[in-house]
A and B are shown apart, each in its own frame.
Chain A
């Protein structure tokens, strides 16, 4: 499912959650939506899912999503507040809603997942632990088999084994039923190998959209004598620096050309990769660290 966002703005009173954002996703990939708390991840996904009327345009396969029955059928957003469930409802009842209202719902798969995550069918949603409630969200999200499936912070409160079960399940189901999946998270280290493309947003704006593997090769840590490092990084995009005595390490963003690689060798500088997580931290840093 193709997604086109054009000039999207979301406001809550005086607060601007999404600020004139535009991007396109070609679809049928697992996308990671990365951003700090309050960056606007949930607001963006809510607009994509037709949960709120957008100012600007949000189109799925070329059709506006808000109050468009044909588009809405193909979207499933699970926020951690569990919109598709009432606290007083039993889990079995929650699944019945899915079966009753979703044409694409796979109830056998839903029951299989409920079993996998050890959620009692007779338990009331309000009595589930945070991790179990998140897992129930994953059940709804995956069993819906929607062409656009969005999971907002679905790992919240899950313990490590459950998170890994979640990642495995997600991957298997994606391979069996390829579709567009958007996952928001800040647990980047754990999830990043599952992602094909990454969107980083900060303060309601899109910082970058890049293939995850390309992004991994974008950052370089330059280490060496402080004055040499300064000379080398002059004119480059430096995300962050740290010093230890006369040694300095600078995080450079952007591919280096052959001339720069030769120069680095001449200066005796060490070039190393940067983890996605570190790149994310520095790309979304509000103060300190040059942009």
Chain B
């Protein structure tokens, strides 16, 4: 419980602050852009769907690569940490989804005031699942590289497949050349798939980190 509390308070607060900063920045940027040309897309959607997932991936990597060894050095087990980190990934994804929703809400108000067009964006559920999978994939990658060194590269194709799944329902999130029609192919099956991706990524992290030695860091 101590680990969960620490992760949620420290890292979630940090992430929410970053989201707030990013929102202020894109709103300012949108006004600057509007001087030169018409605003046709939602700037916040770029953050929420392009940069956001990478940030969450980074937080996932940080949790395993940096925080796990510290937890062990302070007398906590890997199991305790992984339980806490799993719970934390859900809380973090939820908080970031709320941040994303608030962002669209405020941005929508500004856009209608300024009579700009924002284009469409995904459902809250789509964002939530995307964030969830990206945090878990970050943890999986960190565990693989920490445990196997360069050998951890084997995890990348899996990680790539997982994150691709999450993007199919996010409009304007950058189209992949071969995956354009995946949503229509899968229908609502992608929900199941992305939840499965999250669970498999967590299970993989667990399996790899369960017996992981704490490496000597270069001093």
A residues bordering B, Cβ < 8 Å? Answer: 42, 46, 50-53, 67-69, 72-86, 97-98, 100-102, 130, 133, 144, 146
Contact = CB atoms under 8 A, between A and B. Distances in A.
A68 B77 contact: yes
Leading 8 A-B pairs by shortest Cβ distance: A52-B213, A84-B73, A101-B74, A83-B73, A51-B214, A81-B217, A72-B75, A53-B211
B69 interface: yes
Contacts, number: 77
Contacts of B5: 100
SS class, residues of chain A in contact with chain B: loop
Nearest to A98: B74
Contacts of B213: 46, 51-53
B189 to A, nearest CB: 38
Given A51-B214, A100-B6, A67 B73 contact: no
A130 B72 CA distance: 23
A80 B218 CA distance: 10
Interface in B70-125: 70-80
B171 to A, nearest CB: 37
Interface in B1-25: 2-3, 5-6
Interface of B: 2-3, 5-6, 66, 69-80, 210-211, 213-214, 216-219
A101 B68 CA distance: 12
B77 A146 contact: no
17 contacts: A51-B213, A51-B214, A53-B211, A53-B213, A67-B210, A68-B77, A69-B76, A69-B80, A72-B77, A76-B74, A80-B219, A81-B217, A82-B217, A83-B214, A84-B74, A101-B74, A101-B75
Nearest to A87: B217
A173 to B, nearest CB: 18
Contacts of A53: 211, 213
A97 B2 CA distance: 10
Contacts of A81: 216-219
A30 B72 CA distance: 23
Contacts of A82: 217, 219
B97 to A, nearest CB: 27
A1 to B, nearest CB: 13
A255 to B, nearest CB: 40
Contacts of B66: 86
B75 A74 contact: yes
A201 B76 CA distance: 28
B130 to A, nearest CB: 28
Given A80-B219, A81-B219, A100-B2, A86 B70 contact: yes
A68 B75 CA distance: 10
Contact of B2 (A75, A78, A101): A101
A42 B78 contact: no
B185 to A, nearest CB: 43
B214 A101 contact: no
Nearest to A67: B77
Contacts of A78: 73
Given A72-B77, A77-B73, A102-B74, 15 more contacts: A67-B79, A72-B76, A73-B75, A75-B75, A76-B74, A81-B216, A83-B69, A83-B72, A83-B73, A84-B70, A86-B70, A101-B2, A101-B75, A133-B219, A144-B75
A21 B88 CA distance: 40
A84 B71 CA distance: 8
B196 to A, nearest CB: 27
Contacts of B210: 67
A68 B78 CA distance: 10
Contacts of B78: 67
Given A83-B214, A101-B6, A69 B77 contact: yes
B19 to A, nearest CB: 21
